[in-house]
């Protein structure tokens, strides 16, 4: 793309409004800024369309959102499923209400019925609603846990999962085929309503969603009994979680919910945090301060679209609040739910657990112990949703649990994306249950490690912004892929090397080369000695290259020491 030519077009073409033109004229002469805004078009990654809000082809604005929506509309009409409709929801980010209504009216302008949530609502409820309403697709306006300047556009298909191949590629092709923003069709809201195309989703969907996740509680009597004493501090990080969390806690009998007051209301500026990510300990500062004051047992945080859950739990022996990684919290929930399902005789004989390729190998041990099939998929919850759909269609497997290391899990098959609301509920139920055994969640986490081994994981992100950064990331992956295959990382021999983009799996001992069995993706994976591993991939939603690694050891201290050594060794390999 000739970015200067495209910039001039946006500054002069009558299709663009004066506000957009003025914003761009204010950066005239700033070639680096112009290049960043126009060197490419936003593309669908692991979570759809995501970018900085502003004018330009590489920005989230009404033109790029409009083009994406028109492409989606064209695809839906070609499939002949426009009568089933599209569900649309949004979170607390800047421009989310505007983008969501614009999306609805463009779809309406193409004769496609829409169901727009009347209040900001989380990702899992949208996924649930797509299935509940029998819609052909869903759109969620959110940038998840990104900094305030971002927004995004996630597309879901009729199973409630984010789009996967070939649907994603076909929609992208339709978007790219749109040559002019003049090709975007839209109608006004009153006309859309009169035609029965513009519809609202309200409390009735809240009722159905909440009743569904409540039905997944395994020990309701324990929740009622222990819920009177369990103290929980919660923060939605200025996002969508408060309304639903308050309601589900009240209805189940959790009596001591303390919501961080400064973070309870939706606010796209996210004024109390650098960025609203429950993976970041800094985002918990206010919640941990409140926890100290009220002597809370648990400290929980959802991200703005409430698909992720971060937790701290009190260790009564030390009095400290212990931080859980996404692997730890998900597998604590998994062990609780699976063990209880087995005890109650409701664990399916053909049950499966699904994890992503960069998630903990502790999952493998839990699956083996409970005789469940383990499926491993690429990073992105949409690939978990894809396997759930296949299992639903064939009937040969029954979904039990799925998660990814980035703080997201799903406890049932009622939706097809991460559910941070249900995860809060499941975590609190587990805490209530273990109270009856005289132990805390931290005690139980240590019990899990004693049972299966001390698994510990971490990741490193190397941020490289702009066109130059994108090229550097591309070069780093190319260098790593093309240099002589890495045979050792730190003190560990590489046993198996996977280049998933080239569909190569090489046994480094025998030299045998086989297929990875995974869809092509720009991912390099190294299976090491002693059940250890490393993985490298570019982020699909942010300007960074991500390094993942995991260790199994005989104690927590040993695991932490060896993980740090492995991290340093892997960074050296990647940086050359």
pLDDT digits (tens, 9 = 90+) for 186-218: 999 999 999 999 999 999 999 999 999 999 999
Residue 211, burial from CB neighbour count under 10 angstroms (0-12, 13-18, 19+):
exposed
* pLDDT at position 46: 52
Beta strands in 362-453, from DSSP E residues, in sequence order = 373-377, 398-404, 408-410
- Per cent of the chain over pLDDT 70 is 99
Q: Which residue has the tokens 């209805």?
A: 251
* pLDDT at position 47: 57
Question: Model-level pTM?
Answer: 0.94
Neighbours of 442 (CB within 10 A): 21
What integer best gives the mean pLDDT of the chain? 95
With a cut of 90, say whether residue 542 has pLDDT above it: no
In terms of phi and psi (left: phi > 0; alpha: psi -120 to 50; beta: otherwise), the region of 137 is beta
The mean-pLDDT minimum among 178-182, 222-226, 351-355 falls in: 178-182
pLDDT digits (tens, 9 = 90+) for 251-275: 999 999 999 999 999 999 999 999 8
Closest CA to 330 of 303, 349, 357, 353: 353
Which stretches within 344-380 are classed as H helix? 362-369
Report the pLDDT averaged over residues 87-115. Answer: 98
With a cut of 80, say whether residue 300 has pLDDT above it: yes
Phi, psi dihedral angles at 503 (to 5 degrees):
55, 45
In Å, what is the CA distance from 427 to each residue of 23, 59, 186?
46, 37, 44
pLDDT digits (tens, 9 = 90+) for 158-167: 999 999 989 9
DSSP summary character for residue 485: P
Residue positions annotated with a catalytic role? 144
Report the pLDDT averaged over residues 15-24. Answer: 97
pLDDT digits (tens, 9 = 90+) for 43-70: 765 556 899 999 999 999 999 999 999 9
Domains of the chain (ranges, CATH numbers): 40-201 (3.40.120.10), 209-452 (3.40.120.10), 454-575 (3.30.310)
* pLDDT at position 539: 85
In Å, what is the CA distance from 558 to each residue of 1, 456, 555, 570?
51, 10, 5, 18
pLDDT digits (tens, 9 = 90+) for 491-532: 999 999 999 999 999 999 999 999 999 999 999 999 999 999
> Could you give the CA distance from residue 156 to residue 158 in angstroms, rounded to a whole number?
7
């Amino acid at each position: 793309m000739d970015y200067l030519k495209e910039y001039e077009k946006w500054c002069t073409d009558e299709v663009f409004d004066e506000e957009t033109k003025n914003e761009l004229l204010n950066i005239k002469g700033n070639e680096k800024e112009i290049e960043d805004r126009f060197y490419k078009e936003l593309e669908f990654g692991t979570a759809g369309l995501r970018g900085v809000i502003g004018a330009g082809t590489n920005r989230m604005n009404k033109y790029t959102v409009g083009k994406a929506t028109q492409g989606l509309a064209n695809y839906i009409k070609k499939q002949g499923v426009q009568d089933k409709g599209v569900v649309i929801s949004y979170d607390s980010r800047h421009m989310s209400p505007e983008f969501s209504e614009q999306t609805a009216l463009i779809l309406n302008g193409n004769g496609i019925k829409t169901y727009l949530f009347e209040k900001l609502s989380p990702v899992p409820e949208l996924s649930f609603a797509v299935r509940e309403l029998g819609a052909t697709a869903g759109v969620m306006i959110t940038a998840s846990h990104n900094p305030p300047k971002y927004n995004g556009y996630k597309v879901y298909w009729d199973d409630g999962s984010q789009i996967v191949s070939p649907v994603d590629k076909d929609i992208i092709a339709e978007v790219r085929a749109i040559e002019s923003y003049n090709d975007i069709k839209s109608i006004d809201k009153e006309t859309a309503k009169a035609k029965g195309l513009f519809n609202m989703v309200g409390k009735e969907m809240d009722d159905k969603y909440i009743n569904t996740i409540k039905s997944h509680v395994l020990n309701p009597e324990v929740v009622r009994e222990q819920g009177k004493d369990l103290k929980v501090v919660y923060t939605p990080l200025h996002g969508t979680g408060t309304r639903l969390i308050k309601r589900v806690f009240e209805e189940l009998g959790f009596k001591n919910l303390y919501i961080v007051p400064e973070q309870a209301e939706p606010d796209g500026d996210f004024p109390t945090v650098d960025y609203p990510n429950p993976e970041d300990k800094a985002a918990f500062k206010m919640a941990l301060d409140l926890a100290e004051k009220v002597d809370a047992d648990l400290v929980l945080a959802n991200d703005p679209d409430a698909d992720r859950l971060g937790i701290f739990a009190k260790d009564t022996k030390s009095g400290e609040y212990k931080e859980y990684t996404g692997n730890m919290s998900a597998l604590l929930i998994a062990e609780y739910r699976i063990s209880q399902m087995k005890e109650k005789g409701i664990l399916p004989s053909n049950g499966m657990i699904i994890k992503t390729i960069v998630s903990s190998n502790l999952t493998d041990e839990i699956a083996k112990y409970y005789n469940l099939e383990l499926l491993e998929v690429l990073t992105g919850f949409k690939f978990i949703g894809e396997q759930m759909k296949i299992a639903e269609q064939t009937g040969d497997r029954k979904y039990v649990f799925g998660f990814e290391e980035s703080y997201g899990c799903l406890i049932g098959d009622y939706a097809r994306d991460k559910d941070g609301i249900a995860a809060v509920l499941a975590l609190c139920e587990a805490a209530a249950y273990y109270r009856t055994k005289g132990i805390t969640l931290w005690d139980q986490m240590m019990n899990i490690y004693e049972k299966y081994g001390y698994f510990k994981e971490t990741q490193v992100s190397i941020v490289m912004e702009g066109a130059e950064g994108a090229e550097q990331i591309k070069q780093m992956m190319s260098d790593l892929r093309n240099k002589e295959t890495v045979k050792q990382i730190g003190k560990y021999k590489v046993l198996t090397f996977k280049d998933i983009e080239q569909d190569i799996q090489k046994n480094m001992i025998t030299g045998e080369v086989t297929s990875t069995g995974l869809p092509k993706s720009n991912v390099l994976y190294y299976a090491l000695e002693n059940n250890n591993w490393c993985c490298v991939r570019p982020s699909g939603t942010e300007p960074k290259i991500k390094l993942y690694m995991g260790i199994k050891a005989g104690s927590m201290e040993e695991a932490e020491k060896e993980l740090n050594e492995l991290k340093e060794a892997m960074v050296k390999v990647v940086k050359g």
